[in-house]
Structure 1
Amino acid sequence: MKIKNIVLIITMLLLFPLVSAAQLKFEREYRIQPEVTPPTARAFIDAINPDLKIKWYKEESSQGISIEAKFIYVGKKYSIEFDTLGNIQDAEFIIKKSDINPVVYRNMEVHLDSLYNNWKFQKIQKQYKGKPEDIITSINNDKPNPAVETAYEIVLKGKSSGIAHLYEVTFNEHGEIHHFEQIIQEKADHLEY
């Protein structure tokens, strides 16, 4: 399976020139049982609400291995990512374009228009980073704690020079690009959110 992924990546690099200086992103996710997740990750989720129905995943990506908890809480689809020791990396939840401050959204548009001839959002997530207790407070209060770093992680289809690719772009709270990667897709057999 790993050789297949390596061959796929090499093929993509040879056949499709990068539109920009974006890094390549590939990931593989699969379900795991709660018992094999780090206790600190389970304790974090219990601090939000011990009655949540959690789906746990192990993710192998170009950044390494992580553990994800996915659940719906107060009507929002959350994805909480932990390192393999159970330390929180970030908390994300799906939002609509209309949930983004218009000034921030306009800044995003300006940056994306400079990179692509055409682009379209596929998925928008608001992201929280910070101390575990501040992230838990933000989730439970349904608004960011002032101590939490807020960002937007967006999957978009971008077209430049007649070639379209999927990208994951992270914008800071002001709508400035913080990081972006071209997504190398592999057939997924699970629901992503």
Structure 2
Amino acid sequence: MKYSVFIFFFWISLSFAQAKNEKEERIPLSEFPKIAQNYFNSFSHKVKYLKFYRETDGEKQSFEAKFKIKKLYYSVEFDTEGKLEDVEIVIKEKYIPKSTFSEISGYFDANYRKTRLLKIQKQYVNYTNRSDKAFLQHIVEHPNDRHTHFEIIAEIKTDDLHELREFTFDKNGKFEAYRKVTSSSYEHALY
């Protein structure tokens, strides 16, 4: 009995060690990385709101700008130096091509007893020759342009497990990675 209690607590501690446990704090523009502060000037007149955040997850710090343009919710993440990490746009399942969604669904069906998709985002990473500012401007002007990944927050169940996870799939729906999302980061992760 005492060994099973020890194993249970050991397993719990490992689960928390690998979890996405982000803390998000709203900040003024003046605390946002200087190089990225003017990236939003060219389209700020179109933005419904524009908010800036500092994120920490225990190991890494980053900065994020969130805004809405023409019913699309954007999230733009930067490192501490102001280098663009990615641009994400929240989408609905129906906007994923059928063959791609079939690939994603196949992954979930093969690995989990039950899955509930909570948030889907198209993710854009700047692999082009454009500057970060020009790349962001291009994505805002062409939100249906080719993206690089899908990021999905899902509630998954197996016979032994029930948890939230953030999954990354490539643009064709091939699984790349996941990480556990803790309940403390759940609310802001859903935007």
Query: 1:138-164: per-residue Cα shift (whole Å, max 9, x none)?
Result: 2212222x6xx5211000000012421
Q: Report the TM-score when normalising by structure 2.
A: 0.82
How far did residue 35 of structure 1 move?
Answer: 0.9
- SS of residue matched to 1:46: coil
Aligned letter for 1:106? S
Percent identity, aligned pairs only?
A: 27
* Contact 1:116–1:159 under 8 Å retained in 2: yes
| Cα gap change, 1:55 to 1:126, in 2 (>3 Å) | same
Q: Distance in 1 between matches of 2:156 and 2:95?
A: 21
Long gaps (5+) in structure 2: 1-7
Q: Could you say which residue in structure 1 is the equivalent of 2:139?
A: 138
Q: Confirm whether residue 168 of structure 1 aligns to residue 162 of structure 2.
A: no
TM-score when normalising by structure 1? 0.81
Does residue 45 in structure 1 map to residue 43 in structure 2? no
The 8 Å contact of residues 129 and 135 in structure 1, kept in 2 or not, is answered as: no
Once residues 161 and 16 of structure 1 are traced to their aligned partners in structure 2, the CA distance between those partners, rounded to angstroms, is 20
- Partner Cα separation in structure 2 for residue 65 and residue 44 of structure 1: 20
Of 30-39 and 166-175, the range deviating more from structure 2: 30-39
**Residue 12 of structure 2 is aligned to residue 15 of structure 1:** yes
The 5 A counterparts of 1:15-164 are 15=12, 23-47=18-42, 49-51=43-45, 52=47, 53-61=49-57, 64-130=60-126, 131=130, 132=132, 133-144=134-145, 149-164=147-162
Change (3 A) 1:12 1:55: farther
Gaps of 5+ in 1: 1-10
Aligned residues: 176
RMSD over aligned CA atoms reads 2.5
Secondary structure, counterpart of 2:141 in structure 1: helix
